[in-house]
Amino acid sequence: MSNTVFVDGQEGTTGLKIFEYLSKITGIQVLTIDPLKRKDPQARSELLNAADIVFLCLPDAAAKESVSLVTNSKTKIINTSTTFRTDPDWVYGLPELTGSQREAIRSSTRVSVPGCHATGFILSLRPLIDAGVVPRDYPVSCYSVTGYSGGGKSKIEMYEDASIVNERKLGVPRHYALQHTHKHIPEMQKYTNLQYEPLFTPIIANYYQGLAMSVPLIKRNLTKQMSAKNVHELLSAYYGSEPFVRVMPYESDAYLDEGYFKLAECSNTNRIEIFVFGEGDHIHLLSRYDNLGKGASGAAIQNMNLMLGYDEGYCLI
């Protein structure tokens, strides 16, 4: 018997990418809404309650409204917006988070997909905190560089309009959320078990997709005095059996371009690659992945596969 799926917010960047994945899956019937009725609560309610799985690809307020329209206990919801990510009644949709997270996702009817920046940050840092290497009160700072597609349609239209790019000088990377207000910070803190919020600086650059998350650590401030190589060994063991998380070889020069990091190597995949660099007192965790893949739509499909009992990597590998 086929499963029915409805994407609420199917016109957005994340929704369109989810549709692309769904087109590769047999045994899925995709329910669609008349574009003229996509903001009609009654029309949406009918589809929300008819589906086995619903993807919410909506702004926070609209996502909350959609959840309120689901009146049965059968429909499973995968939310891709910020809302519900730290809600205790929702399961955080990062299967690699802990040994029990996959089972929590499989048995849940409410799953929240992690934010793109949060994904690399949590996967890099959580194992080190769990192992007692990084103390929970460590003053973590981090920064990321991401393509403009993560900003949705408005950012895509802006960056792909040459006149706007020239007028606003968008050809160079731009720091933002400088008042420490980025919406991913609460989940970054919660799911690493940090006692304090990290100091996070995101940077948007003039390319379409791909994200690199950088987390520097100072060895003398760690609970356990481990070298960069020791940290690499710990992460390698932790993620050794994961299909979508790869800890790259410690001697990583072969993966650089004359010493420069190649940010976009995971574009159009659901893969995240974690590097560990370091010398002396300095350790540098650097991850790369697709902000539209493992950072959004790919992760959503990975969660759907678990919730429907499919192979986790179905149509993703």
Burial of 260 (0-12, 13-18, 19+ CB in 10 A): exposed
Given this model, what pLDDT does residue 26 score? Answer: 87
The pair phi, psi for residue 9, each rounded to 5°, is 105, 40
Residues belonging to the active site: 116
Given this model, what pLDDT does residue 50 score? Answer: 96
Interval 261-304: pLDDT, tens: 999 999 999 999 999 999 999 999 999 999 999 999 999 999 99
CATH of domain 3-114+295-308: 3.40.50.720
CB distance 314 to 28 below 8 Å: no
User: Dmax of the chain from CA atoms?
Assistant: 62
**pLDDT greater than 60 at residue 1:** no
- For the chain, helix (H) and strand (E) counts, in that order, are 10, 15
CB distance 55 to 110 below 8 Å: no
Interval 16-67: pLDDT, tens: 999 999 998 988 999 999 888 888 889 999 999 999 999 999 999 999 999 9
CATH of domain 116-292: 3.30.360.10
Interval 86-145: pLDDT, tens: 999 999 999 999 999 999 999 999 999 999 999 999 999 999 999 999 999 999 999 999
Interval 190-241: pLDDT, tens: 999 999 999 999 999 999 999 999 999 999 999 998 999 999 999 999 999 9
Of the candidates 288, 248, 256, the residue with the CA atom closest to the CA atom of residue 272: 288
Report the C-alpha gap between 169 and 7 in whole angstroms. 36
Of the candidates 268, 265, 266, 261, the residue with the CA atom closest to the CA atom of residue 285: 261
Kind and range of the H or E run holding 229: helix 228-238
208 secondary structure, DSSP code: S
Given this model, what pLDDT does residue 36 score? Answer: 86
Strand partners, 77: 54, 110
The structure tokens listed for 184 are 């991913």
The pair phi, psi for residue 174, each rounded to 5°, is -135, 125
Neighbours of 250 (CB within 10 A): 15
Kind and range of the H or E run holding 79: strand 76-79
Given this model, what pLDDT does residue 143 score? Answer: 97
Given this model, what pLDDT does residue 102 score? Answer: 98
Report the C-alpha gap between 78 and 304 in whole angstroms. 8
Provide mean pLDDT across the span 245-269: 95
- Domains in the chain: boundaries: 3-114+295-308, 116-292
pTM over 0.85: yes
Show Cβ contacts of residue 243 under 8 Å, excluding neighbours closer than 6 positions: 312, 313, 317
Of the candidates 93, 99, 133, 135, the residue with the CA atom closest to the CA atom of residue 114: 93
CA–CA distance from 235 to each of 149, 232, 249 (Å)?
A: 29, 5, 11
Interval 154-203: pLDDT, tens: 999 999 999 999 999 999 999 999 999 999 999 999 999 999 999 999 99
Which residue has tokens 């700072």? 141
CA dihedral 262, 263, 269, 273 (to 10 degrees): 80
